[in-house]
């Protein structure tokens, strides 16, 4: 009995000592257990253009270029330029709406700093890529994993002439080299056939079943299909619809209340937006499909797949925003992944997403790059070789030049104009013909407004 009691006492004392050591370790090392706090720069207004290397006269020439186009018939635009963490320029031009159908309004409401624009394919960056970059940083998404690891029903059909979906990786979608057609027109039965859908849940069931159109990895073909699939992957990983995830996890922590999907369902009014196509999706009556909109679009996403087939929420289109709020998202990228006390992703992830594709140096992971001289239409003549960004069909542009800590967003409603010739090209609008609508001249003018010593320092 005495031996047993002594043994018990030794066990009790050993346990007490172990508990004390654990407690001491916990008290001594609280910082190692807590997540690191974020302390990122936040945007400030530049005291003057010259204080960050710009010429006020040079920026006035940017205004003159856009205002000249507006005077000649271009509908409207908004521009923001940030440099070294400061807002150098935030300007607006022209009109939110000029036409009701083909009839000019009596008075044109002007674009304001708080006017929301349909970002079109810039949604791919500010919604889907931001979500993907966050998930990669959190090790919740593996870019080298197969698509079918996240979408189990992603598979070739028995009759598909091109096989290969089983081996496709997430990174192949991001490189736009996965083999898919650019525009799966789910909403139009004459084009979609068995893949016709104007119901979001049905579209999400059909999406992984779309057949390949070319051999994966053989070329780069910019494709909305890729980003519809990537948006679905975000939803499968997070368990939330894409809009719910990005609005609650990215935009609201950044205090961005005007960056959102389906804004007319969330308290905004049509007059808050720059209008897009004057006659819905009809291209002046040359296109027709079930339930097609015929009224002037204002506050509803223009993209047909996003609106009809995806309920306004898709990985490729559907996001609306303002220049002021996009300036914050530009700064997130230039900061290396955060803003203020909000951490979103890390610099290594940004470097991975903006590195050149082995197939085409003008593509990163979703982001477009100033990889060849052929990209001057978008980046102008002054951007450095590491500049990246994206465009959107409705007339939106992003340019980020990390070498000189510069960001540019140009938002326009260039499609709020008549077709040039409905009989020959139902996608060419009058607004597309202006320098402002072609982007490169505006970007070049912004770079030209930088002092020579600034532009030469990074390039």
- C-alpha span between 332 and 336 (Å, rounded): 6
In this structure, the number of other CB atoms found within 10 A of the CB of residue 135 comes to: 21
Residues of the chain with CATH 3.40.710.10: 44-135+240-458
- Whether 13 has a pLDDT exceeding 90, the answer reads no
Comparing C-alpha atoms, which of 62, 70, 64, 74 is closest to residue 415?
Answer: 74
What pLDDT, on the 0 to 100 scale, is given for residue 305?
98
CB count within 10 Å of CB 288 equals: 12
pLDDT digits (tens, 9 = 90+) for 350-374: 999 999 999 999 999 999 999 999 9
Q: Which of 412, 338, 420 is closest to 43 using CA atoms?
A: 338
pLDDT at 32 over 90: no
Q: What is the pLDDT of residue 423?
A: 87
- Structure-model confidence comparison of residues 135 and 422, the more confident one: 135
Residue with tokens 């579209």: 203
Rounded Cα gap, residues 351 and 335, in angstroms:
12
CA separation (Å) from 391 to 19, 123, 269, 367, 410?
A: 60, 9, 25, 10, 9
Tokens of 19: 């508990």
Q: Residue 294: is its pLDDT beyond 60?
A: yes
pLDDT confidence tier of residue 37, bands split at 50, 70 and 90:
confident
State yes or no: pLDDT of 323 exceeds 80: yes
- Give pLDDT, residue 451: 65
Structure tokens at 225: 């299909």
For residues 117 and 246, what is the distance between their CA atoms, to the nearest angstrom?
A: 18
254-276 burial string, b = 16+ CB within 10 Å, else e?
Answer: bebebbbbbbbeeebeeebbbbb
CA distance readout (Å), 237 to 78, 146, 170, 172, 216 = 35, 14, 13, 18, 24
Q: Is 254 helix (H, G, I), strand (E, B) or coil?
A: coil
Per residue in 309-321, pLDDT tens?
999 999 999 999 9
DSSP one-letter string for 98-150 = -EETTEEPSSPPBP-TT-BEE-GGGHIIIIIIHHHHHHHHTTS--TTSBHHHH
State mean pLDDT over 98-125.
98
User: pLDDT, tens digit, for every residue of 209-225?
Assistant: 999 999 999 999 999 99
Residue 10: pLDDT over 60:
no
Domain boundaries for CATH 1.20.58.710 within the chain: 141-238
Looking at every residue in the chain, the average pLDDT score rounds to 92
Supply the pTM of this predicted model. 0.91
| pLDDT average, residue stretch 220-242 | 98
CATH of 44-135+240-458, one of 3.40.710.10, 3.30.70.2190, 3.40.140.80, 3.40.50.200: 3.40.710.10
Whether pLDDT at 459 is above 60: no
Question: How many angstroms separate the CA atoms of 239 and 424, rounded?
Answer: 44
Tens digit of pLDDT for each residue in 423-454? Answer: 899 999 999 999 999 999 999 999 999 964 54
CA dihedral 419, 421, 425, 431 (to 10 degrees): -30
pLDDT above 90 for 138: yes
E strand or H helix at 412: strand 406-412
Query: Which tens digit of pLDDT belongs to each residue from 157-178?
Result: 999 999 999 999 999 999 999 9
pLDDT score at 35: 58
Indicate whether 200 pLDDT > 90.
Answer: yes
pLDDT at 456: 43
Rounded-to-integer distance, Cα 185 and Cα 192, Å: 6
Alpha helices in 344-408 (DSSP H): 347-354, 376-379
Paired tokens of 454: 């600034």
CATH number, span 141-238: 1.20.58.710
Q: Tokens 């320098």 sit at which residue?
A: 435
């Amino acid at each position: 009995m005495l031996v047993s009691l002594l043994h018990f006492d030794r066990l009790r004392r050993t346990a007490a000592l172990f508990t004390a050591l654990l407690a001491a370790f916990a008290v001594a090392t609280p910082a190692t257990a807590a997540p690191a706090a974020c302390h990122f720069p936040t945007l400030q207004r530049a005291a003057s253009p010259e204080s960050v290397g710009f010429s006020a006269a040079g920026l006035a020439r940017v205004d003159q270029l856009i205002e000249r186009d507006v005077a000649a018939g271009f509908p409207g635009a908004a521009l923001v330029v940030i440099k070294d963490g400061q807002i150098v320029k935030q300007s607006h031009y022209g009109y939110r709406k000029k036409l009701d159908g083909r009839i000019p309004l009596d008075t044109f409401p002007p674009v304001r700093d708080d006017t929301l624009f349909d970002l079109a394919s810039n949604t791919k960056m500010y919604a889907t890529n931001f979500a993907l970059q966050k998930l990669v940083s959190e090790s919740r998404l593996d870019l080298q994993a197969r698509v079918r690891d996240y979408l189990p029903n992603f598979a070739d059909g028995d009759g598909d002439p091109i096989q290969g979906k089983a081996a496709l990786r997430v990174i192949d979608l991001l490189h736009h080299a996965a083999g898919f057609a650019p525009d799966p027109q789910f909403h139009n039965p004459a084009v979609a056939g068995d893949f016709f859908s104007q119901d979001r849940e049905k579209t999400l069931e059909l999406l992984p079943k779309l057949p390949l159109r070319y051999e994966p990895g053989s070329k780069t073909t910019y494709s909305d299909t890729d980003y519809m699939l990537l948006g679905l992957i975000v939803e499968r990983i997070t368990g939330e619809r894409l809009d719910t995830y990005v609005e609650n996890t990215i935009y609201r922590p950044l205090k961005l209340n005007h960056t959102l999907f389906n804004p007319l369902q969330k308290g905004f009014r049509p007059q808050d937006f720059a209008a897009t196509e004057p006659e819905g999706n009809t291209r002046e009556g040359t296109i027709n499909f079930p339930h097609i909109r015929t009224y002037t679009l204002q506050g509803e996403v223009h993209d047909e797949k996003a609106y009809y087939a995806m309920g306004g929420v898709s990985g490729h289109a559907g996001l609306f925003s303002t220049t002021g709020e996009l300036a914050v998202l530009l700064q997130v990228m230039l900061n290396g992944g955060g803003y203020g006390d909000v951490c979103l992703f890390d610099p290594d992830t940004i470097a991975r997403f903006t590195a050149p594709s082995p197939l085409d140096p003008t593509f990163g992971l979703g982001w477009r790059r100033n990889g060849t001289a052929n990209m001057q239409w978008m980046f102008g003549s002054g951007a450095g070789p590491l500049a990246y960004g994206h465009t959107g069909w409705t007339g939106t542009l992003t340019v980020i030049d990390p070498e000189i800590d510069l960001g540019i967003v140009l938002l326009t409603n260039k499609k709020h104009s008549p077709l040039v010739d409905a009989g020959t090209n139902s996608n060419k609008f009058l607004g597309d013909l202006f320098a402002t609508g072609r982007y490169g001249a505006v970007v070049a003018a912004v770079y030209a407004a930088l002092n020579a010593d600034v532009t030469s320092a990074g390039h």
